[in-house]
Chains A and B, each alone.
Chain A
């Protein structure tokens, strides 16, 4: 038999014991009693495990964080509610709009469709991490210059996506930009100015 563990449970043991003791009551309150009697031990274990917060290490905009999260916390909710980085927006919460776009290890993703615990050890960049002090990122400057927004709600996601679009080499033409920016919806319809901003950055040749 293989002695190496094949599954890691990131759950923290001391907390687990505590919850195990205290969760019998919770379990009783949550399920009809015959079930508790029949499978009390196993159920207790499950309920305890489900309620536990698990440890998570993340680097966000260059800062290391050691956190505790419930497994069901999305990366988006963690950023906004635990780290108070509210620049990343929640539009639809179902992967349909792109307002929540952040970079994970340099790649753009929808932070609303990902559990934070799945990113242990990874590096996250949000809109707050683009500027260098008071100096805006070239893409932020271009959005200002070209009026790449109206209400501004989709803008952080648009900018994170736009930076990735240029870095990926998908900003070669207007058509290509429109296709590779299609994961970011703008209710105000600022699309043509967004495309102009991206083309400006691309043609300017600055490092993004």
Chain B
């Protein structure tokens, strides 16, 4: 691994300044993504600014919502009584990610910012536009069974691997960031990017901007929720496809619905049209199947991931069915 300078931030402003003025500097939180990529020589920051001592780990009630500090651990959030009461879908998604040990290290901010990536991104002998812009995409003509079916470009077809983010986009969360130009709020749906011509950029965060918290507005989705994750083994694996589903039911009638998918796009993939198709409908297999069809409109497979065109809608139906019964 490359050598680097290590500094510990005691104030957010100091951390922001240090990273904003030095393109070779990076924040480090849990380290579970950054250390992995540094060990492999894929990321080579010359300076690490450790943000773990900043007071950003609280989970608290905010008017009409919950505020998760950027440094709250994935395990702490998943087990938090307020989260379980107000946003049980988030707890389910978090517990479906990684392993208990990794969730004890991974933070809210770091989880969102784990790289959108694929196995060619890790393989330094292969071209990858995300790792080295302009070299080409190894996956396009390679083994692309894990890759995107929505929103891909001919520059990159990787998917964002975070489970937590799938729940957060479904729940209309907002990301709070601080930078040298001040503070701003970013709707979760606008936080991650599609690859387009610049797949090296995973998100719309600017250099030196620090995520301080994530806000989730209260909603009616406290009971009929489910996170369905399909993976190649029972646990401790990234999603092939996942679905976050939340329903607000009046008897058997759907008053409101939220749906988002993971493992299908360069960003957590909100399914707004499918949500709309459920409103006013009975919570039945036929309604769920129709919503899944709507959700899959525009999906496009590559050579090895056509199975996702079938697995995707089935996962949506399963998620909705389980949510309705919860």
Contacts and interface: CB of A to CB of B under 8 A. Distances in A.
A167 to B, nearest CB: 11
B196 interface: no
A129 interface: no
A7 B35 contact: no
B99 A72 contact: no
A202 B26 CA distance: 43
A161 B39 CA distance: 24
A6 B48 contact: no
Contacts of A113: 31-32, 35-36, 102, 105
The number of chain A residues touching the other chain, given as a range, is 35 or more
11 contacts: A4-B11, A6-B10, A6-B15, A51-B3, A54-B6, A94-B40, A98-B101, A113-B32, A118-B31, A182-B99, A183-B98
Interface string A164-206: 1100101000000011101111000000000000000000000
Contact of B39 (A94, A120, A168, A179): A94
Contact of A179 (B7, B15, B49, B235): B235
Given A4-B11, A118-B50, A185-B236, 4 more contacts: A7-B9, A8-B10, A113-B32, A164-B100
B6 A170 contact: no
Q: 8 nearest interchain CB pairs?
A: A6-B14, A183-B99, A182-B235, A71-B6, A6-B11, A50-B3, A49-B5, A7-B14
A49 B101 CA distance: 31
The number of chain B residues touching the other chain, given as a range, is 35 or more
A49 B6 CA distance: 8
Contacts of B99: 98, 110, 182-184
A86 interface: no
A9 B25 CA distance: 14
B10 A93 contact: no
Nearest to B17: A6
Interface string B1-41: 11111111111011101100000000010111001101110
Contacts of A114: 30-31, 35, 105
Nearest to A168: B100
B5 to A, nearest CB: 4
Contact of A93 (B39, B48, B49): B39
B35 A183 contact: no
Majority secondary structure, B binding face: mixed
Contacts of B40: 94
Given A50-B3, A93-B39, A95-B36, A178 B10 contact: no
B325 interface: no
B6 A183 contact: no
A101 B101 contact: yes
Interface of A: 2, 4-11, 46, 49-51, 54, 70-72, 74, 93-95, 98, 101, 107-110, 113-115, 117-118, 120, 161, 164-165, 168, 170, 178-180, 182-185
A113 B3 CA distance: 16
Interface string B88-124: 0000000000111110110000000000000000000
Interface of B: 1-11, 13-15, 17-18, 28, 30-32, 35-36, 38-40, 46-50, 52, 75, 98-102, 104-105, 234-236
Given A50-B3, A70-B3, A118-B50, A109 B104 contact: yes
Scoring B4, B11, B17, B101 by chain A CB atoms within 10 A of each residue's CB, the highest score goes to B101
B313 to A, nearest CB: 26
Nearest to A100: B101
B319 to A, nearest CB: 19
A183 B100 contact: yes
A98 B105 CA distance: 13
A94 B50 CA distance: 20
A182 B236 contact: yes
B48 to A, nearest CB: 7
B32 A7 contact: no
Contacts of A118: 28, 31, 50, 52
B13 to A, nearest CB: 6
B102 A6 contact: no
A183 B101 contact: yes
A178 B235 CA distance: 9
Contact of A71 (B4, B15, B75): B4
A106 B30 CA distance: 16
A9 B7 contact: yes
Nearest to A51: B3
Contacts of B75: 107
B5 A71 contact: yes
